[in-house]
Amino acid sequence: MKPSVRRLLDSEEFRGLVARRWRLSIALSSLLFLLYYGYIILIATRPGLLSRRLGDGATTLGIVLAAAVIVGAWALTAAYVVWANRYYDPEAARLRARLQGD
Amino acid sequence: MQTTLGSPTLSAIVSFLVIVALTLAVTWWAARKTRSTSDFYAANRSVSPLQNGLALAGDYMSAASFLGITGLVALRGYDGMIYATGWLVGWPALMFLVAEPLRNLGKYTFADVVAFRLRQVPVRIAAAFGGILTLLFYVLAQMVGAGNLITLMFGLSYEWAVIGVGVVMLAYVLFGGMLATTWVQIIKAILLLSGVTVLTALVLARYHFSPGELYAAVASRYGQAALEPGGLVTDPVDAVSLGLALMFGLLGLPHILMRFYTVPDARAARTSVLYATGFIGYFYLIIPVVGFGASALVGREIIRNVDAGGNMAAPLVAELLGGTPFLGFIAAVAFATILAVVAGLTLAGASALSHDIFTHAIRKGNASEEEQIRVARLATVAFGVLAVILGILFKGQNVAFMVGLAFAVAASANFPALLLSIVWRRFNTAGAVAAIATGSTLSVALIVLSPTVWVDLLHYAAPIFPLRNPAIISMPAGFLAGILASLVKPEPEAEARFHDEKLRTYLGVGAE
């Protein structure tokens, strides 16, 4: 391995970038777990809650929650993409450029 | 209500011929651009994020989910909605855990990533085994479903339907490779999304575009219970186990993972997941409306009389609201959906056979471009013919559980090997082989002993394994086997190469 590559891989910036990427991944995955498995466990343990009607209509809380799981899952994906486009990509490009500079 | 379902109408035949002609024209165009292995397996990495997002959605939204979930909602109400949510939640997980590293590390198959720093021959064979097993279960369910659906909709005989699907999809893959397959998926995704959108609008138009009014109509006809959780989710452990298989199975489906190599870089891979999640989320958000519309407007009795499983709910409501021409269009779209999904599975199966087994395990990476392309085409025919034979052999069998099995194997064998190879320095050849062997054997064995097969199909009194889906046991077991085997048989060379791999995983240096 070239010494410049070694230096980069050991650098605080590279390690920090990788650590931040996985910290965010794990945080968003945990939210996804909470959202989906929370919903499933709620159905299994508290079906009465999901059967509750909203106002005078027939629409149940369960219908709203099912839609919220789908929209929420998409929103989590979008949050990751925004972070990666705004923060991760420029940072990775900067580190790559440093490698070519040597 | 009178229905023309089951007899070929002019509009169904015309819509069907237009779709087949269009996709074959695309194949002819793609065939002229398909020369190298990179063209055949990865469309020369020229697909845009929006195109790949549509193609991913096309690969994922099967006829089973379009017709099956509408039917489930029509006959069982809210329980169908619970099922629909499970099909979306794998996509964010795919984004957070594997999409970008997969794009940076691999070339044509997910085995490229697992084998990146490990010993090629054993890892390629294990990964190809896990991948092909997943694809075979998946394609078997698709083929049997295709035969039944086409018989129901067009009145064609089961065998001719299966052979017809086999011949047309082979034409796409064989001549047009990944480029044709991608465009077939894009066309199918657009047709399916617009067809379901029109159907949803037609249903809601009957209720002043107010979903609340639709739900009230369902409740007044079938009681408030239609909008409440029923019997689908009662045991939380079983429900979470199915949820795990659906979520993480996506991260081990070879035909989905393969799509990430068709885009130019990791950023495009990331954007394509966002598009795909949007299209698929929209799809699962609106198909319950079609299902509820079918039960309120067509009625459960009529739906059940046409097909006991409810699969014809969407075509029936399409006929009621849009007449025979719209039914013809929806039937043709369902057919295009089957063709596209089977084509994607066949291309993935062929690449595992030719790229992983032939080029890397048998030829140790020394095969000329011409030879690789020739073997890839032979493998395409082999996989396609096998799919047709399996479809005919399993005629009349209940194979709905096969999709669950495919997801369980993918989540328990392919996903642990893929994730560990990306994140864990000490993961090695022994670990990869152990993870795939354990995950796949355990998920197949446990599903055979589960109520799904042991009681429902083999008619024994009590199951040996209590859960309907084994993922909650078999997926952790796959991870555990991978970790233990790696620790027991350390591989210093693989550990030493992890540094190089990181440069490529996180910065894309040296990516294909």
Q: Chain A partners of B81 at a C-beta cutoff of 8 Å?
A: 62-63, 66
Q: Is B271 on the interface with A (CB under 8 A)?
A: yes
- Interchain proximity A80–B92, CB inside 8 Å: yes
The residue among A5, A46, A33 whose CA lies nearest residue B236 is A46
Supply B409's token pair.
């194997």
- Are B316 and B2 a contacting pair, CB within 8 Å? no
Across the interface, of B93, B227, B271, the residue whose CB is closest to A60 is: B227
Nearest in space to B362 (alpha carbons), one of B133, B121, B126, B108: B121
Query: Residue B62: its pLDDT value, please?
Result: 86
Residue numbers in B near A71 (CB within 8 A): 281, 285
Give the type of residue at B151: T
With beta carbons under 8 A apart, name residues in chain B contacting A74.
88, 92, 277-278, 281
Mind telling me how many Å the CA of B432 is from chain A's nearest CA? 22
Phi, psi at B491, each rounded to 5°: -135, 90
- Please list the rounded mean pLDDT of every run of 10 residues in chain A (102 residues): 85 95 98 97 92 91 96 98 97 90 60
CA B354/CA B361 separation, integer angstroms: 10
Q: Do A32 and B96 touch (CB under 8 A)?
A: yes
Q: What pLDDT does B76 receive?
A: 93
- Chain A nearest CA to B50, separation (Å): 14
Question: Does any CB of chain A come closer than 8 Å to the CB of residue B460?
Answer: no
Query: Measured between CA atoms, how close is A86 to chain B, in angstroms?
Result: 11
* CA B317/CA B326 separation, integer angstroms: 10
CA distances from A31 to A26, B279, B440 (A): 9, 21, 29
Q: Does residue A96 sit at the B interface (CB-CB below 8 Å)?
A: yes
Please write down the HEC assignment for all residues of B292-349: HHHHHHHCHHHHHHHCCCCCCHHHHHHHHHHHHHHHHHHHHHHHHHHHHHHHHHHHHH
- The pLDDT assigned to B16 comes to 87
Q: Which residues of chain B have pLDDT under 50?
A: none
pLDDT in tens, A8-17: 999 999 999 9
Task: Give contacts of B 94-123 with A, CB under 8 A.
Answer: 95-97, 100
- B494: closest CA among B424, B432, B426? B426
Helix axes B236-249 and B471-488, enclosed angle (nearest 10): 60
A86 touches chain B (CB under 8 A): no
